[in-house]
Amino acid sequence: MADTKREIERKFEFTKAKAARRGVPDLTGTGRIADVRDRGSVDLDAVYYDTPDQRLAADGLTLRRRTGGEDAGWHLKLPVAPGVRDEVRAALSDTLPPPLAQLVRSRVRDSSLEPQVRLLSSRKVSHLLDADGTLLAELSTDEVTAERADTSVSWTEVEVELADGVDPALLDAVEKSFRKAGLKVSDAPSKLARALAETGNEPPARPDPDPADTSAGAYVLAYLREQLDALIAQDPAVRRNQPDSVHQMRVASRRLRSAFKSYRRILDRDVTDPIGEELRWLGSELGVDRDREVLLDRFETALGDLPRDTLIGPVRGRLRTWNAARRSGSRRRALAVLDSARHLTLLNTLEALLADPPLLPGAAKPAAKAFPKAILRDYDRLATRIDTALELPPGEERDLALHEARKAAKRARYAADAAVPALGKPAKRMSKAMKSVQTLLGDHQDSVVARTALRDLAGQAHAAGESAFTWGVLHAREEARAELRQRELPEAWAEAAAEKAHLGIGVR
């Protein structure tokens, strides 16, 4: 079993030996701090683990096994924002607990976790309290010794960690007081980062893109790296059931697959097509849970908008039952996918592609020339699908055609997004135009899917002896909503087409 704690903290170091001798200043009167209460000392012994090539440290994660203190055990720290991390804790054991092993799986994969550095800390702890005696923050002064192989380094570090719910502005006030006393914010984001740096074992830095390289290949590879990083980072978020994580993971997989297709004259399709199929599989498997989330939100909103006299029977209870049955199966399925060898092989394959990209001659062309042509091809593909859909009579065939148009709009938007670093504002405007069409078509498709689910809900209600009236009302509303989106499409598409004409990318 693992517990999670959100850490909002700031680390400081003394700027001069003289300041260190004076020690930490009294913070009484700083912000809301009315009292500083000594909580004694504790000795901590932590061994930090990582892969041999330090994949965790490279991404800002720390994994340690620590003894001493009130929270002895295994700790995994996941970055959230500067100065903010989620610490996932598990009980002390000789081997890494499975819940934490799963959270680093997307990074570790088939590699191993090995001890990297040992940190011995002698910690003095104080509690910072407000006038009512409520805990605001914990102040720790650590005398740290880092040991790695035959190398040993020591330093003093001061850390202020906020209690739950305390305004982060308190850290700004503390920092101001500390600056006057000769302390500055630490340059290292964590003890581990400093230990690795000072023992000469920093993780290998990922090479920054060469600003002089304006080739299409350089920009496409940078975009692919960004999406792969997102795919890897969302894996532990999905496992922790973080809001929107499944959606963001699917977006990253779709953007990768879309880039392979849009920029097929830059990357060899004989290599990327099989990877694209695996990305399609991943998105499809994760989509089961995401589709449930979307439908639940849609139905809850719709029920909230209905007049009270149309809510007949236990409709909200029926919806909860329907969602619980779908959620249990879909979440198990998503986690099984993330644990599968197939998923890990996909991540390894994407890493290998970026390490040795299958570039075609078109990759050497200037991005300013290659990207507009690629975007225009996707635009023309979308135009054909929309024209086809609008020529069809209302019904199932048109619904299917509009769904295909939606996917084409998404691809055109992603192609423009990938080109933004190279083309700037023109690509941003094209992306915005495509997104507006995608959003309209997406709402139409959601209505198609919702009506199928509403018929299912109505059938379940009827079988249970409940009234199906409310589900019928929602079904009728969804039909009207879909018809409205179809009427809005010609004008929305005309506006998007007019925008394209002003972007200066219509070069074949």
- Domain CATH number, residue 322: 1.40.20.10
* pLDDT value of position 200: 86
The amino acid occupying position 197 is A
Average pLDDT over residues 495-506: 68
Quickly state the pLDDT bin for 325 (edges 50, 70, 90): confident
**Which residues form the domain of 45?**
2-198
CA separation for the pair 184, 178 (Å, rounded): 7
First to last CA, the chain: 58
Pick from 198, 231, 261: which residue ends a domain? Answer: 198
* pLDDT value of position 201: 85
Residue 504 scores a pLDDT above 70: no
361 domain residue, yes or no? yes
The string of pLDDT tens digits covering residues 179-231 is 999 999 999 889 999 999 998 888 877 777 778 889 999 999 999 999 999 99
Q: For the whole prediction, is pTM greater than 0.85?
A: yes
- 161 forms beta bridges with 9, 138
- Which CATH number characterizes residue 113's domain? 2.40.320.10
Beta-carbon contacts of residue 338 (< 8 Å; ≥ 6 apart): 102, 105, 106, 235, 238, 239
Q: Tell whether 175 and 27 lie within a shared domain.
A: yes
* pLDDT value of position 327: 79
Residue 424 scores a pLDDT above 50: yes
The string of pLDDT tens digits covering residues 75-86 is 999 999 988 999
Domain count for the chain, please give it. 2
- 405 forms beta bridges with none
What the block records as the tokens of 74 is 């295994």
Average pLDDT over residues 323-334: 82
* pLDDT value of position 503: 54
Pick from 198, 229, 259: which residue ends a domain? Answer: 198
Q: Tell whether 165 and 243 lie within a shared domain.
A: no
* pLDDT value of position 32: 95
50 domain residue, yes or no? yes
138 domain residue, yes or no? yes
CA separation for the pair 443, 448 (Å, rounded): 9
Q: Tell whether 128 and 177 lie within a shared domain.
A: yes
Q: Tell whether 93 and 227 lie within a shared domain.
A: no
- pLDDT, greater one: 73 or 497: 73
Q: Tell whether 351 and 488 lie within a shared domain.
A: yes
Q: Tell whether 295 and 161 lie within a shared domain.
A: no
Q: Which residue has the tokens 């700031």?
A: 10
**308 DSSP 8-state letter:** G
Let me know the angle formed at the C-alpha of 10 by 8 and 16, rounded to the nearest 5 degrees. 170
Let me know the angle formed at the C-alpha of 397 by 395 and 401, rounded to the nearest 5 degrees. 115
Average pLDDT over residues 155-163: 96
The string of pLDDT tens digits covering residues 224-279 is 999 999 999 999 999 999 988 999 999 999 999 999 999 999 999 999 999 999 99
209 domain residue, yes or no? no
CA dihedral 195, 200, 204, 210 (to 10 degrees): 110
Q: Tell whether 11 and 43 lie within a shared domain.
A: yes
**215 DSSP 8-state letter:** B
* pLDDT value of position 149: 87
Q: Tell whether 22 and 53 lie within a shared domain.
A: yes
Backbone angles phi, psi at 63, to 5 degrees: -130, 120
345 domain residue, yes or no? yes
Mean predicted lDDT score pLDDT of the chain: 93
Residue-wise DSSP of 383-418? HHHHHHHHHSPSSHHHHHHHHHHHHHHHHHHHHHHH
CA separation for the pair 374, 324 (Å, rounded): 44
What the block records as the tokens of 467 is 């009234």
CA separation for the pair 20, 17 (Å, rounded): 5
Distances 256 to 58, 103, 265, 313, 423 between C-alpha atoms, Å: 22, 23, 15, 46, 19
Q: Tell whether 319 and 385 lie within a shared domain.
A: yes
* pLDDT value of position 54: 94
The string of pLDDT tens digits covering residues 389-420 is 999 999 999 999 999 999 999 999 999 999 99
205 domain residue, yes or no? no
211 domain residue, yes or no? no
* Number of other residues whose CB lies within 10 A of the CB of residue 127: 16
CA separation for the pair 11, 185 (Å, rounded): 6
Which of 29, 27, 24, 33 lies closest to 182, judged by CA? 24
* pLDDT value of position 212: 83
The string of pLDDT tens digits covering residues 127-140 is 999 999 999 999 99
Let me know the angle formed at the C-alpha of 73 by 67 and 79, rounded to the nearest 5 degrees. 110
Quickly state the pLDDT bin for 507 (edges 50, 70, 90): very low
Pick from 140, 166, 198: which residue ends a domain? Answer: 198
What the block records as the tokens of 466 is 């409940």
Quickly state the pLDDT bin for 502 (edges 50, 70, 90): low
Residue 506 scores a pLDDT above 60: no
CA separation for the pair 371, 423 (Å, rounded): 8
SS3 84: strand
Quickly state the pLDDT bin for 508 (edges 50, 70, 90): very low
Residue 328 scores a pLDDT above 80: no
Question: Which of the residue ranges 297-306, 329-338, 433-442 would you say has the lowest mean pLDDT?
Answer: 329-338
* pLDDT value of position 302: 96
* pLDDT value of position 103: 97
Q: Tell whether 165 and 246 lie within a shared domain.
A: no
Cβ-contact 136, 128 below 8 angstroms: yes
Contacts within 8 Å (CB) and 24+ apart, 399-406: 399/444, 399/445, 399/448, 399/482, 402/441, 402/444, 402/445, 402/486, 402/489, 403/441, 403/445, 403/448, 405/441, 406/438, 406/441, 406/442, 406/444, 406/445
CA separation for the pair 16, 18 (Å, rounded): 5
Q: Tell whether 412 and 278 lie within a shared domain.
A: yes
422 domain residue, yes or no? yes
Compute the half-sphere exposure of residue 141: CA atoms within 13 Å on the CB side of its CA.
17
Q: Tell whether 184 and 287 lie within a shared domain.
A: no
Residue-wise DSSP of 309-354? GG--SSHHHHHHHHHHHHHHHHHHHHHHHHHSHHHHHHHHHHHHHH
